[in-house]
Structure 1
């Protein structure tokens, strides 16, 4: 993600998606947002999980902490896509579509990146987000239970079953995207809550994920280890990329803080642009390029 501000005609939309809660989506999203802001990019964030609002609370805590301590912290321009109410499913979805795409319309020309956090369930706004994504990031806990979303492991072995329901949802979103502009959405699966100790389960999981990556064409990245420090950051809105000293957190940084920073920097480097051969934008005819995210979203309605 190194570089400086760019001048795109349309912001690069990064979606954090997973149908299972507790995978570190919001924590990963905030660290990615702060990394992009620190690199000089213009960043907007959108929370489509208006029940939990984890990303919103994290950013609110960050702004409050900065005011109370009198320090400068990078804050994105933030939006919340609210759930609609109505008498019919079609009416509710139509209102949610209009509200959400209005947010995207407002930010896609004024920002370099838009980072979207989605709810941990199969919902209308979650599917809309996936349909519009340029990059999809799926954090999963480093466990065989979470692997089941992508395919699971066959009984008695370490060979994956490629029929995971979330993988099927992503495949549908990718097909929708290709119908509009011929681009294959970049999909990155991030292993979060990595154990410090290697185990047979970890080796089985890694082997299965590598096989699934070949089947589903996603990239695999190591993410956040099981560190108490990542849970502590939420209350202050801080990240491992911030200056962690007496002025900010009231204590000197520990080895755990420094290790967390290295993990995040390695992850952000992995989340950079995919190899050119994976997203061949040059092969897309100009007439096929969508004029706005509204065109992408409408395919997924």
Structure 2
């Protein structure tokens, strides 16, 4: 059997929208007919795990159907476990979902851990959402405080760089890295042009692609308690009133999946038996 494609959603800064991106990518892949395994390594918040638990409960209560991923929940005590034990438990969970999935999606915590670094090393695609501010950019690159010129890559960029080098040395395979401009404000911010220039300069230096994320829309938040996304809405699944914002949100999600190279999932690439 072919190996699943591993997608890691990562950024060592919290609040960048990692879990929102993770659940929307997972739901989109599921609706494209792929089998998706999900591992939530953000053991303190467990937003992705809670989302899919909500999904299962809502679907059962409303006698509705929507695709579910392969889940292997990791208990919160993993965060306090010694590195060797934590890595062994993560590897076992990864092997479990990999055997059942076409894609394995891993949501990582907002911090540097041995398990998070191991997950990055397994990735075929790393997705890094960042908010539209120099506060978020600081985790990727360091700028001069006087001129705002890019000085050097920062902590998280170095983590990804090391993962890419190790992956290339071990298997000869490369890791695709996409930075998403997430939660953009509806109107142009005064510092957007300056930030754009630094992001593009850093992308050339460390080798990531820049893609569109998801705007800060109410619809993304109000569907979370039901375990649903904009990709799930249909004539039979409609827990909130529909409006024009839903059309715009669907277009955003399609643009996001296209930027990640996941807009279509060829049936011949799936391992599921027909």
1:188 aligns to 2:178 (yes or no)? yes
Instruction: Show the counterpart of 1:110.
Output: 100
Instruction: Show the counterpart of 1:226.
Output: 216
Cα gap change, 1:218 to 1:85, in 2 (>3 Å)? closer
Q: Which runs of 5 or more structure 1 residues have no equivalent in the other structure?
A: 1-7, 274-301
Cα gap change, 1:83 to 1:93, in 2 (>3 Å)? farther
User: Displacement, 1:245?
Assistant: 5.3
CA distance in 2, matches of 1:248, 1:80: 28
1:203 aligns to 2:193 (yes or no)? yes
Aligned length: 262
Instruction: Trace 1:194-273 onto structure 2 (pairs within 5 A).
Output: 194-243=184-233, 247-251=237-241, 253-272=242-261
Instruction: Show the counterpart of 1:137.
Output: 127
Instruction: Trace 1:1-301 onto structure 2 (pairs within 5 A).
Output: 9-82=2-75, 92-243=82-233, 247-251=237-241, 253-272=242-261
* Alignment TM-score, normalising by the size of structure 2: 0.90
CA distance in 1, matches of 2:2, 2:257: 23
Cα gap change, 1:33 to 1:184, in 2 (>3 Å)? same
- What secondary structure, in the 3-state scheme, does the structure 1 residue paired with 2:61 have? helix
Q: Deviations over 1:202-239 (max 9, x none)?
A: 11111111111100100101111121221112111111
CA distance in 2, matches of 1:83, 1:250: 32
Over aligned residue pairs, what C-alpha RMSD do you find? Answer: 1.9
Q: Which runs of 5 or more structure 2 residues have no equivalent in the other structure?
A: 263-274
